[in-house]
Structure 1
Amino acid sequence: MSAATVTDSVASGGRNRRPGQSAGRSILVTAILLLVALYFLVPVYWVVVAATKTTEDLFATNGFWFGQTFALFANVREVVAYDGGIFLRWFANSVLYSGVGALLATYFAAAGGYALSRYQFRGRNLVFGTILGGVLVPGTATALPMFLLFSELGLANTYWSVLIPSVVSPFGLFLCRIYADASVSPSLLEAARLDGASELRIFHTVGLRILTPALVTVFLFQLVGIWNNYFLPLVMLADQDLYPITLGLNNWRSQTDRLPEFYELTTGGVLLSVIPLAIAMIVLQRFWRGGLTEGAVK
């Protein structure tokens, strides 16, 4: 079969594809994407609507539409002012746990993944496999052993009891190694060595910049995971002043049966707790776009 015959066959195959088939597939994909979007957006919409209602409207009106009284700002003021501003303390604690924990976890994951990818040493795959095994262990299974260990060290019921476990991300290390294998060129590192750069300088000036899209992914995964973590702070913390938002809001929710006004506090607090994650996603998504298009034009 000649090259011209192959070309004509491919061209005719493209022409024989009926427009109705392509349109049908496009409609099906669009419908699936809309359903997935609704699955994630409907709960957020309900939170926004519920945060605008009084307790009476919350139960007397449609859950997916606004009540007779628009009480959003009153609810937010009540959330911020209740119990001497304890919500702001929980909010600051969550920012500390998730911000510092995600930043350190991302740096350690990048350092470990870069080292396992670019350096050859005995037992490298064994180390990688052992760390990767941490992905298979659920956090709930390790919470109690960590509590016993931290109690022996005198770190239970302190900031460190939540921060230290948060700086470890086996999945982040796995992702950084895979990304480094694909994107960090050995010849580029060798050129930096010939220029007299130290290994640490090469990692910080070359490696981290190339790994930026992977680092953003690890940071966001760790940020969301720590921000939404409930079980670890529940096990580790007894002092209400050390609570993150998740634990504090659950404390408020548990009081709704005897004090109905806590419904307004809970829904308003949930709305405020979503805002930082939405901001982080909007601000950092441009790094994903940059990573996806990097290298597309040479």
Structure 2
Amino acid sequence: MSAPSPGTRPGLSRYLVLGVLLLASVYFLAPVWWLLVSSTKTNTDLFSGNGFWFGHFALAENVREVFTRQGGIYPEWLANSALYAVGGAAVSTLISALAGYALAKYRFRGREFTFNTVLAAVLVPQPLLAVPLYLMFSGVHLVNTPWAVLLPSMVSPFGVYLARIYAGASVPDELIEAGRLDGAGELRIFATIALRVMSPALVTIFLFQFVAIWTNYLLPVLMLADDHLQPVTVGVVGWQAQRAIGPSAVPTNIVITAAAVSAVPLVVMFLSLQRFWRSGLVAGSTK
């Protein structure tokens, strides 16, 4: 098929695609813009002015109020979220790498059944497991401890699936055999060869798991009753519920600012790992 001449007008389908993409961009970016704008307003301007444009710029005052309110508990919530997200995502990535590499490179009885079980676990909605997990942890007295959130976060069926697919496609069997001929053990081969080759996929797994843990609400709200153990998602929702409760009510602009600040680590993590994330997705889709 010959290429269209420079003077040819784009077809209707091109304009239709551009229009759909523009509408999708507005749909996804409008709430983000509203959140950013609203976090800079006073509580009065929040309800009296244009919701999508700036009023009296009070971002510094709002942030200061967020970090000092209720005895400065908001930094504790951020630290808790960082602990759960970084710790859970790191361990989950390592377990996914080990399991995925083993499923891809070793032949053993029950391998396909194990992998099919992992695939089935990917399809199970995570909220469906919250109540059974609560009953299990209640039986071993782990409710209202950090382990009640950390332990379920350390396993990711999707991470195992992605690691298995990537290891099977990107780690050559010849490279593994060369390591064995040089006298390297299986763990050394995995640590020095497989992990390096699989690094794009592992960064992708870490990022996905980090975001999933950071934004998780149902599991910590069920497991944690102590305010000082809760992550920022549960804490901000608790503040939102106090908006109309007597003198201790939290102003709406403070709740919005707290929500905006809680999204900053996600943006930083995404931007810092973006090139690894993109290369991991492209490699996983083409190999």
**So what's the TM-score if we normalise by structure 2?**
0.92
In structure 2, how many angstroms separate the alpha carbons of the residues matched to 1:19 and 1:287? 40
| 8 A Cα contact 1:55 1:261, kept in partner | no
What residue in structure 2 maps to residue 150 of structure 1? 137
Partner secondary structure for residue 2 of structure 2 = helix
State percent identity of aligned pairs: 50
What residue in structure 1 maps to residue 243 of structure 2? 256
What residue in structure 2 maps to residue 3 of structure 1? none
Partner secondary structure for residue 63 of structure 1 = coil
What residue in structure 1 maps to residue 234 of structure 2? 247
Matches of residues 216-295 of structure 1 in structure 2 within 5 Å? 216-258=203-245, 261-291=250-280
Q: Which moved more, 1:84-93 or 1:214-223?
A: 214-223
Matches of residues 1-298 of structure 1 in structure 2 within 5 Å? 13-15=1-3, 20=8, 25-67=13-55, 69-258=56-245, 261-291=250-280
Q: CA deviation at 1:15?
A: 4.6
Distance 1:197 1:34, change over 3 A: farther
CA displacement 1:224-243 (0-9 Å, x = unmatched):
11001000011101111001
Distance 1:144 1:23, change over 3 A: same
Where does the alignment leave 5 or more consecutive residues of structure 2 unmatched?
none
Partner secondary structure for residue 155 of structure 1 = coil
Distance 1:290 1:148, change over 3 A: closer
Distance 1:49 1:263, change over 3 A: same
Distance 1:16 1:156, change over 3 A: closer
In structure 2, how many angstroms separate the alpha carbons of the residues matched to 1:293 and 1:230? 30
In structure 1, how many angstroms separate the alpha carbons of the residues matched to 2:63 and 2:207? 26
CA displacement 1:125-164 (0-9 Å, x = unmatched):
0011112211122122111111111111111000000000
Q: CA deviation at 1:195?
A: 1.2
Where does the alignment leave 5 or more consecutive residues of structure 1 unmatched?
1-12
In structure 1, how many angstroms separate the alpha carbons of the residues matched to 2:7 and 2:106? 52
Q: How many residues align?
A: 281
In structure 1, how many angstroms separate the alpha carbons of the residues matched to 2:181 and 2:75? 52
- Superposition RMSD on alpha carbons, in Å? 2.0
Q: CA deviation at 1:124?
A: 0.1
**So what's the TM-score if we normalise by structure 1?**
0.88
